[in-house]
Structure 1
Amino acid sequence: MSYEVIQVNKGTLEKIKYHYISSLKENPPQGAVFSAKTSGCTITAYKSGKILFQGKDAAAEAGKWQKDAGPSAKKTAKPSSRKPVDNHSYQPPANLPSLVLLGSDETGTGDYFGPMTVVCTHLSKEQLKTVESWGIRDSKMINDTTIREIAPKLSKECTYSLLVLHNEKYNDLQKKGMNQGQMKALLHHQAITNVMKKCAAEGLDYDGVLIDQFVQPARYFDYLKSRNQTWSSEKPLYFATKAENLHPAVAAASVLARYSFLKQMAELEKKIGLPLPKGAGPAVDAAARRILKEKGKDTLYSCTKWHFANTGKAFR
Structure 2
Amino acid sequence: MATSVLLLDEQTIQHLGEIYHEAIHQIPPHAHYQLKLPSLSVTAYKSGKVVLQGTAVDKFIQKHDLTALTSTKKTNYDTNGLPEGFSNWSVIGSDEVGTGSYFGPLTVACAFVPKNLIKELQQLGVKDSKNLTDVQIQEIVPKIKALIPYKLLTLWPEKYNEVQQTKNLNEMKALLHNQAIKRLYQQINPDLLQAILIDEFCSPSNYYRYLGDQSAPLKSITYFKTKGESHHIAVAAASMIARDAFLEGLKTLSKEYGYPLLSGANASVDELASNILEYDGMELLSKVAKLHFANTQKAIDLVK
Structure-1-length-normalised TM-score: 0.69
Instruction: Report SS of the residue matched to 2:247.
Output: helix
Contact 2:127-2:229 within 8 A present in 1 as well: yes
Displacement over 2 Å in runs of 4+: 230-235
Q: Distance in 1 between matches of 2:263 and 2:130?
A: 13
Deviation at residue 246 of structure 1 after TM alignment: 1.2
> Is the counterpart of residue 256 in structure 1 residue 256 in structure 2?
no
Contact 2:182-2:216 within 8 A present in 1 as well: no
Identity percentage of aligned residues: 41
Matches within 5 A, 1:261-272: 261-272=246-257
**1:139-197 Cα shifts (integer Å, max 9, x gaps):** 1111000011000111111100000011111100111x200000000000001001100
**1:54-94 Cα shifts (integer Å, max 9, x gaps):** 528xxxxxxxxxxxxxxxxxxxxxxxxxxxxxxxxxx4223
Q: 1:192 maps to which residue? A: 181
Q: Distance in 1 between matches of 2:85 and 2:113?
A: 17
Largest Rg, 1 or 2: 2
Deviation at residue 232 of structure 1 after TM alignment: 4.5
**1:250-281 Cα shifts (integer Å, max 9, x gaps):** 00000000000000100111112111111111
Q: Which amino acid aligns with 1:229?
A: Q
Q: Distance in 1 between matches of 2:146 and 2:254?
A: 27
Pairs aligned (count):
226
Matches within 5 A, 1:14-163: 54-55=78-79, 91-163=81-153
Q: Which amino acid aligns with 1:223?
A: Y
**1:7-28 Cα shifts (integer Å, max 9, x gaps):** xxxxxxxxxxxxxxxxxxxxxx
**1:187-218 Cα shifts (integer Å, max 9, x gaps):** 00001001100014xx6611010000000100
**1:193-250 Cα shifts (integer Å, max 9, x gaps):** 01100014xx66110100000001001011011xx21324265000000001111100
Q: Which amino acid aligns with 1:270?
A: K
Unpaired runs of 5+ in structure 2? Answer: 1-75
> Is the counterpart of residue 183 in structure 1 residue 172 in structure 2?
yes
> Is the counterpart of residue 216 in structure 1 residue 203 in structure 2?
yes
Structure-2-length-normalised TM-score: 0.71
Question: Aligned match of 1:292 in 261, 264, 277?
Answer: 277
Contact 1:120-1:195 within 8 A present in 2 as well: yes
> Is the counterpart of residue 233 in structure 1 residue 257 in structure 2?
no
Deviation at residue 126 of structure 1 after TM alignment: 2.5
Instruction: Report SS of the residue matched to 1:285.
Output: helix
Q: Distance in 2 between matches of 1:169 and 1:207?
A: 34
